[in-house]
Amino acid sequence: MTSPRAAVGFLAHTGWAAAVVVAGSRSEIRVIDRRRVALVEPPDSGSRFVYHMAAELPKAKAAGFVKKAVESAHRVALESFRALAGDVGTSCRLVASGIVTSASKLPESLDEILGSHPLLHTAEGVLYRNAIRAASEALDLPVVAVPARELPAKAAAALGTTEVALRAKLAEVGRAAGRPWAQDQRDATLVAWMALASK
C-alpha cells in the first residue's frame, strides 16, 4: 500500500520554527505531526540572535561571526528536518515543503544591516527562513514560500476556495488535531496545504 502524500509547513521564529505536517488532498487534509524544531544549538540560547550579537562586535570580526552562525543554522535546520522526516516517514511520504515568509527586504551590505535595529530583526528572520529552505532543498523537497500577509488570499486561490470557506475548513482541521492550535500552527498548516496542493 502506498503511503499518503504529505507536506510540511514552517513558520520560523528566531532560532526555532513551528512545523506542521499535513497529508491529504487539495480539498481535505489532516495533521500528521506538529512540533517545534530547533534551528540553533543549544535551543533557546542567546546565540540565536546572530545579527544582534554581530552588531556588538568590531567590524573586522562581524562578517566572520555571521558566516559561521549561518553555517551552523543550516546544519541544525537540516538535522531537525531529517529527524522530522524520519519520524513521519513510516506513516506518510513527504513531497513538498512550505515556508511562511516576510515581504521585508534586506540590503546586501552587512554594515548597513548592523547599523539599523529594525534591519537586525529582519535579518534574523531571513537567516532562519533561509536555513529551512536550504534543509528542504537538501532533502529534495520543492519549496512553496508565501509572505504572511498574503497567505490567506493565496492559500484560498491555490486551494480553489474562498477565504471564508478556508477559515472554516482550517477550524475543522484544528478541532480534529487538538491543541496547540494557535496562529503559528494555523499558518504553518496553510502553507503546508498549499505545498501539498502544488504537487
- Report the CATH number that the domain containing residue 139 is assigned in CATH: 3.30.420.10
Is the separation of the CB atoms in 143 and 137 below 8 Å?
yes
For 99-155, the pLDDT digits (tens) are 999 988 899 999 999 999 999 999 999 999 999 999 999 999 999 999 999 999 999
For 11-55, the pLDDT digits (tens) are 999 999 999 999 999 999 999 999 999 999 876 667 899 999 999
**CA proximity to 20, closest of 198, 177, 175, 138:** 177
The range of the structural domain enclosing residue 106 comes to 5-197
- The count of domains in the chain is 1
Grid coordinates 500500500 are at which residue?
Answer: 1
pTM above 0.75, yes or no: yes
Helix intervals (H) in the chain: 50-55, 59-88, 110-114, 117-138, 151-158, 163-177, 183-197
Q: How far apart are CA 199 and CA 1, in angstroms?
A: 20
